[in-house]
């Protein structure tokens, strides 16, 4: 073993003390160690004694003294306070840290030459339960991080309004527009997985074709990198300020738009506070050798990709996983070279969510999930073989540190931004490479997973169990679940039926008709099931509950009839006409349709929770909506008086559509009315 000696101070004596170092053993002197409180340090304290000719000072007696310990500690111990140097001039001993967290300091000097220079050694004791604190810090911090991300997403979606679906439904085959839309939508909803799942849904409902989605998928990859760029900003010191500002905006303003912005800021602050908690909890890992060794192994590309893919698939958010990587980087615990394979794995793992969403869909919808997966795998295969060069390129375009390379603080200062930049560069380059071959990729995927004509699915119930009809309480609970499923189908029908009126696309009508068949089937099955229950020996309370269920099912079915028997018939006619609603008229229809959907959502909530207060609030809300409809009719009449051409030509359809929506509102409100009526009569 060879030692490198360096003089810290000049000595007027014949001996001097220095802290030895070794090319083979890190921190050979034992200074600045970290160990769990109450345990012996992993490495001994070593003192090298040299004479004036820099030869080892043999058999010299070194005395060690305690300088300082954390307040209240009485258990700190130096195993040998007097030690002789060996033939190499080195004296060594271990120290046992006390029970208190904090810094322990000792001094070393020659006993026979007290005027000789002395050395100071430090050791840091972490809490004895640091592993437990680390785990709960990570779990709690990650929980806040994901909560903040969800709040950001909700706030941004609310601020963007209901235009998201309309934007996607207007997609053409222009791949550049598709990339822009994919980027924008993903930036708003903060998840490329969510964007892809949305695309799977749109293709399944025939609102889009598979090939139209490839450009959006590429844009979604770029959009998700914006989240990583935001996370890489070191705003943890201001997280509570953001929480405060967001809370005030969200809680004390009447404007829905400002509340949405406030919710976004609040989520942003919670996200960074979660990062702060994770970062603080990870601090002890900086000196935990097993963890450092495992991080080094992540520079193995295949292992890093596997871990990144698995972890991202588990939490179903590449943004969250990249956020965790950035937290590690802020503590200097991970290098860019180790981060890149994890990034690649995260890009593959994010496709898992879309795959899961497509399991129960048709072949064309599955093509969307397959395209997302293949695009990410192609990107990883392209970059896999030049990770070192990719890392150097990212470092070249990222901010530099003035500290020496490899220093923990240097890594902490530069790697977070490098990770975000690597994520962005990967997805932009991948988009540029795939873009010219979008049509080729579409044809390949269609050959891999061809669309086949499948037989019409057999209608069935999910919850009804005729073996339970003798247990009225349980059976009625099952009937209620099936009725809720029916109500959600009706809600979807009501939401989709407005599309042909606004954008004159009739593809959705076929899906509405299918849902109508299922609604009618469920109506008959639920009614038959409830009647079988009431034929058993049931008490009056169960009879009343059965009637409320039958009444609610009837209201759902009548709403479905309005949609399928009347609204879609007129929608088909309207889509063939050259007329358009005026901008004001269209806004009124969208506004009233949104309120109708909200009332239907309230009906489902009231029906599910049997909440009388919400039922009364819903009944009052109907009066507000009824007055609003009258006001909107008056505004429409005013436009007719002003002879606005679009209003005149579309007047009949406009009035009919508003009437249909009012009727749906009324049927939805009846669900609350019957609950209030029977609650009063049962008292």
| Whole-angstrom distance, CA of residue 394 vs CA of residue 415 | 10
At 313, is the secondary structure helix, strand, or coil?
helix
Question: Cβ–Cβ contacts within 10 Å for residue 624, how many?
Answer: 10
The pLDDT of residue 14: 79
Helix locations, 455-539, DSSP H: 472-496, 499-503, 507-534
**Domain-embedded: residue 459:** no
Return all residues near 506 (Cβ < 8 A) that are at least 6 apart: 500, 571, 572, 575
Based on the fold, state whether residues 67 and 139 are members of the same structural domain: no
Based on the fold, state whether residues 428 and 489 are members of the same structural domain: no
Based on the fold, state whether residues 94 and 163 are members of the same structural domain: no
The pLDDT of residue 504: 76
At 16, is the secondary structure helix, strand, or coil?
strand
The closest of 335, 142, 322, 341 to 228, measured between CA atoms, is: 322
The pLDDT of residue 94: 92
**Domain-embedded: residue 457:** no
Length of the chain: 683
As a 3-state breakdown, the chain gives helix, strand, coil percent values, each rounded to 5, of 65, 10, 25
Provide the domain count of the chain.
3
pLDDT beneath 70, residues of the chain: 1-13, 157-173, 189-190, 201-202, 204-207, 283, 285-299, 360, 401-412, 452-458, 465, 467-468, 470-471, 473-474, 537-539, 541, 578, 629-630, 632-651, 678-683
What's the CATH code of the domain at 488?
A: 1.20.58.220
- pTM, to two decimals: 0.53
What's the CATH code of the domain at 49?
A: 2.60.40.10
Helical pair 408-434 and 336-349, crossing angle rounded to 10 deg: 40
| Whole-angstrom distance, CA of residue 182 vs CA of residue 188 | 10
The pLDDT of residue 286: 61
Residue ending a domain, choose from 414, 448, 482: 448
List the Cα angle 341/217/304 in 5-degree steps. Answer: 10
Residue ending a domain, choose from 86, 108, 126: 126
Based on the fold, state whether residues 526 and 435 are members of the same structural domain: no
- Here the tokens at position 366 are 């599955």
**If residue 348 lies in a helix (H) or strand (E), which one and from where to where?**
helix 336-349
Based on the fold, state whether residues 485 and 365 are members of the same structural domain: no
Return all residues near 484 (Cβ < 8 A) that are at least 6 apart: 604, 607, 608
Return all residues near 69 (Cβ < 8 A) that are at least 6 apart: 76, 98, 100, 102, 104, 105
Q: For 52-78, give the DSSP string.
A: TTS-B-TT-EEEEEEEE--TT----EE
At 610, is the secondary structure helix, strand, or coil?
coil
CA 674: distance to chain centroid? 40
CA 433: distance to chain centroid? 27
**Domain-embedded: residue 460:** no
The closest of 323, 312, 385, 375 to 346, measured between CA atoms, is: 312
Please tell me the number of Cα atoms within 13 Å of 37 on its side-chain side: 17
- Here the tokens at position 617 are 């609030």
Based on the fold, state whether residues 297 and 218 are members of the same structural domain: yes
| Whole-angstrom distance, CA of residue 443 vs CA of residue 437 | 10
Judged on CB neighbours under 10 Å (0-12, 13-18, 19+), 681 is exposed
**Domain-embedded: residue 82:** yes
**Domain-embedded: residue 455:** no
Based on the fold, state whether residues 418 and 479 are members of the same structural domain: no
Based on the fold, state whether residues 93 and 138 are members of the same structural domain: no
**Domain-embedded: residue 559:** yes
Contact of 213 with 251, CB cutoff 8 Å: no
Name 673's bridge partners. none
The pLDDT of residue 193: 75
The pLDDT of residue 105: 92
**Domain-embedded: residue 414:** yes
What is the 8-class DSSP label of residue 286? Answer: G
For residue 117, which phi and psi values (nearest 5 degrees)?
A: -60, 155
Based on the fold, state whether residues 103 and 146 are members of the same structural domain: no
**Domain-embedded: residue 201:** yes
**Tens of pLDDT along 595-611?**
888 888 888 888 888 77
The closest of 559, 534, 537 to 479, measured between CA atoms, is: 534
- Here the tokens at position 611 are 């909440």
Based on the fold, state whether residues 432 and 531 are members of the same structural domain: no
Based on the fold, state whether residues 118 and 138 are members of the same structural domain: no
Name 61's bridge partners. 84
CA 292: distance to chain centroid? 27
Based on the fold, state whether residues 155 and 136 are members of the same structural domain: yes
Q: For 105-134, give the DSSP string.
A: EEEEEESS-TTS--EEEEEEEEPTTHHHHH
Residue ending a domain, choose from 91, 126, 161: 126
- Here the tokens at position 332 are 């200097």
Residue 213's domain spans which residues? 130-448
């Amino acid at each position: 073993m060879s030692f490198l000696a360096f003089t810290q101070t000049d000595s007027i004596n014949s001996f001097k003390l220095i802290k030895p170092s070794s090319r083979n053993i890190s921190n050979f002197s034992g200074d600045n160690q970290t160990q769990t409180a109450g345990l012996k340090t992993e490495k001994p304290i070593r003192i090298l004694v040299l004479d004036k000719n820099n030869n080892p000072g043999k058999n010299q007696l070194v005395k060690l003294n305690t300088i300082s310990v954390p307040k209240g500690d009485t258990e700190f111990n130096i195993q040998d306070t007097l030690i002789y140097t060996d033939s190499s001039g080195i004296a060594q001993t271990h120290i046992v840290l006390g029970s208190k967290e904090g810094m322990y300091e000792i001094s070393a000097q020659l006993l026979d030459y007290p005027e000789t220079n002395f050395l100071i050694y430090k050791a840091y004791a972490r809490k004895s339960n640091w592993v437990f604190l680390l785990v709960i810090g990570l779990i709690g911090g990650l929980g806040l991080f994901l909560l903040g991300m969800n709040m950001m997403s909700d706030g941004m979606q609310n601020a963007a309004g209901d235009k998201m679906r309309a934007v996607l439904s207007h997609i053409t085959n222009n791949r550049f527009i598709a990339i822009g839309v994919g980027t924008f939508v993903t930036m708003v909803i903060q998840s490329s997985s969510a964007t892809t799942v949305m695309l799977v849904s749109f293709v399944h409902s025939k609102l889009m074709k598979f090939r139209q989605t490839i450009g959006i998928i590429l844009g979604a990859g770029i959009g998700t990198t914006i989240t990583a760029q935001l996370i890489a900003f070191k705003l943890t010191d201001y997280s509570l300020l953001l929480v405060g500002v967001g809370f005030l905006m969200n809680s004390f303003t009447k404007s829905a738009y400002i509340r949405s912005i406030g919710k976004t800021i609040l989520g942003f602050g919670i996200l960074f506070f979660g990062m702060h908690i994770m970062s603080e909890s990870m601090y002890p890992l900086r000196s935990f050798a097993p963890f450092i060794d495992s991080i080094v192994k992540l520079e193995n590309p295949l292992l890093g990709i596997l871990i990144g893919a698995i972890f991202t698939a588990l939490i179903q958010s590449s943004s969250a996983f990249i956020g965790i990587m950035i937290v590690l980087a802020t503590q200097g615990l991970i290098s860019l070279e180790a981060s890149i394979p994890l990034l690649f794995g995260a890009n593959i793992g994010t496709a898992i969510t879309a795959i899961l969403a497509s399991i129960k869909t048709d072949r064309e919808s599955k093509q969307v999930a397959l395209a997302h997966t293949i695009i990410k795998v192609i990107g990883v295969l392209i970059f896999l073989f030049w990770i070192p060069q990719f890392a150097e390129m990212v470092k070249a375009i990222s901010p530099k540190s003035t500290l020496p390379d490899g220093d923990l603080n240097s890594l902490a200062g530069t790697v977070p931004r490098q990770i975000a930049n690597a994520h962005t560069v990967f997805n932009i380059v991948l988009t540029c490479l795939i873009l010219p071959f979008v049509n080729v990729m579409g044809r390949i995927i269609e050959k891999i997973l061809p669309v086949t004509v499948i037989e019409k699915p057999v209608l069935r119930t999910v919850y009804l169990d005729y073996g339970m009809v003798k247990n009225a309480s349980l059976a009625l609970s099952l009937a209620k679940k099936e009725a809720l499923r029916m109500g959600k189908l009706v809600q979807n029908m009501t939401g989709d039926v407005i599309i042909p009126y606004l954008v004159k696309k009739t593809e959705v009508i076929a899906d509405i008709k299918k849902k109508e068949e299922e609604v009618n089937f469920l109506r008959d099955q639920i009614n038959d099931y409830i009647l079988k229950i009431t034929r058993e020996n049931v008490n009056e309370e169960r009879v009343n509950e059965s009637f409320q269920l039958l009444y609610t099912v009837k209201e759902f079915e009548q709403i479905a009839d309005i949609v399928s028997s009347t609204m879609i018939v007129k929608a088909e006619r309207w889509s063939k006409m050259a007329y358009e609603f005026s901008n004001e008229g269209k806004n009124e229809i969208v506004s009233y349709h949104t309120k109708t959907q909200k009332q239907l959502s309230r009906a489902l909530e009231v029906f599910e929770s049997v909440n009388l207060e919400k039922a009364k609030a819903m009944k009052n809300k109907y009066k507000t909506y009824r007055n609003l409809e009258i006001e909107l009719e008056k505004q429409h009449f005013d436009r007719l008086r002003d002879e606005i051409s679009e209003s005149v030509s579309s007047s009949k359809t406009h009035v009919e559509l508003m009437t249909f929506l009012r009727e749906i509102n009324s049927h939805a409100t009846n669900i609350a009315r019957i609950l209030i009526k029977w609650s009063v009569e049962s008292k």
